[in-house]
Amino acid sequence: MTIIAAVPDRAFRTATPRPIPLTRITGVELRKMFDTRSGFWLIASIAITSLLAAGGVILWAPDGELTYSTFATAIRFPVVIILPLIAILAVTSEWSQRTGLTTFTLVPHRSRIITAKAISSVAIAIAAMVLAFAVGAVGNLLGAAITGSTLVWDVTLTQCLYYVLGMVLSLLTGFMLGVLIRSSTGAIVAYFILTFLVPTVFSLLAESQQWFHDLQPWVDIQFAQAGLFVFAQSLTGQEWAHIAVTGVTWLLIPLLVGLRLVMRSEVK
């Protein structure tokens, strides 16, 4: 007669693995932005172009315009173009480099990957802003020392926060396009169309049609956000409304559509 010993059910239970912390996923995504040669030099170009812009102001700006706001404005132009490209490549790399299958197998919850990419992109943007402000401050000090002009610090803390908000919104525009299109080439082309071509068409239309002149702040996201980069003024309630409406129309709604597509699309 065979006797089978009773084995407790818990002996057959396997331990449920703990989910990977979001901080670790964010750290991995942040490291992936520097791992490739193109990613490293794209991020390094923020510092390089900031130094070149500050040097250009010292060399060619009139002595009376050597102020901190002048340096900050000059540095903004290259940085506001580079940051969205970084966000685009951070998202589209999973599809362009065909690493999505590996990434989403290791972390099946795609929303956590997208969240980590968003956090790492914003972290890069904030670090870039700190660097830009530092380079602008050094340029202002050097410009005053070289030319003998009066040292002028004409940017308030509130205006700096406006500046950072504008940069983050620009970066999120690139992030939205990356999520929506999921192709590096297509998203970059769409970004330049949305940033340069569409505002030009809107401006021409506003100059020729009075009805659109009054409507432009409510539909042109670049026009609405321009006030965030003007250091000489504070935003009114209506201007904040313009930013909110255009942000929902051009940023939030396409981002939600893109997130739905990411969650449902097949990864190969």
Supply the DSSP symbol for 268: -
Identity of residue 111: S
Q: In the chain, what are the helix, strand and coil shares in percent, each to the nearest 5?
A: 80, 0, 20
| Cα(156)–Cα(69) distance, integer angstroms | 10
Q: How far is CA 205 from CA 197, 213, 219, 222, in A?
A: 12, 8, 12, 15
What pTM value is reported for the model?
0.87
pLDDT of residue 37: 78
**Is residue 244 situated within a structural domain?**
yes
**Is residue 116 situated within a structural domain?**
yes
The region, left, alpha or beta by phi > 0 then psi within -120 to 50, assigned to residue 230 is beta
Identity of residue 110: R
| Cα(93)–Cα(41) distance, integer angstroms | 16
**Is residue 207 situated within a structural domain?**
yes
| Cα(175)–Cα(120) distance, integer angstroms | 11
| Cα(100)–Cα(266) distance, integer angstroms | 10
**Is residue 14 situated within a structural domain?**
no
Q: How many domains does the chain have?
A: 1
> What number of other Cβ atoms are within 10 A of residue 132's Cβ?
27
The residue among 240, 43, 25 whose CA lies nearest residue 117 is: 25
218, exposed or middle or buried, with CB in 10 Å at 0-12, 13-18, 19+? middle
**Is residue 168 situated within a structural domain?**
yes
Domain that holds residue 167: 21-256
**Is residue 12 situated within a structural domain?**
no
Q: From first to last of its 268 residues, what are the pLDDT tens digits of the chain?
A: 455 455 555 544 555 667 788 889 899 888 888 877 777 888 889 989 999 999 999 989 888 888 998 998 899 888 889 999 999 988 888 877 677 777 777 788 888 899 999 999 999 888 888 998 999 999 999 988 888 888 889 888 888 899 899 999 999 999 999 999 988 899 999 999 999 999 999 999 999 988 899 899 999 999 999 889 887 677 888 999 999 999 999 999 999 999 999 888 777 6
Sign, CA dihedral 237-239-241-247, equals negative
**Is residue 30 situated within a structural domain?**
yes
**Is residue 16 situated within a structural domain?**
no
Task: Assess contact for 179 and 91: CB atoms under 8 A.
Answer: yes
For the CA atoms of 15, 19, 21, 24, what is the dihedral angle to 10 degrees? 90
Q: Which residues contact 160 (CB under 8 A, 6 or more apart)?
A: 133
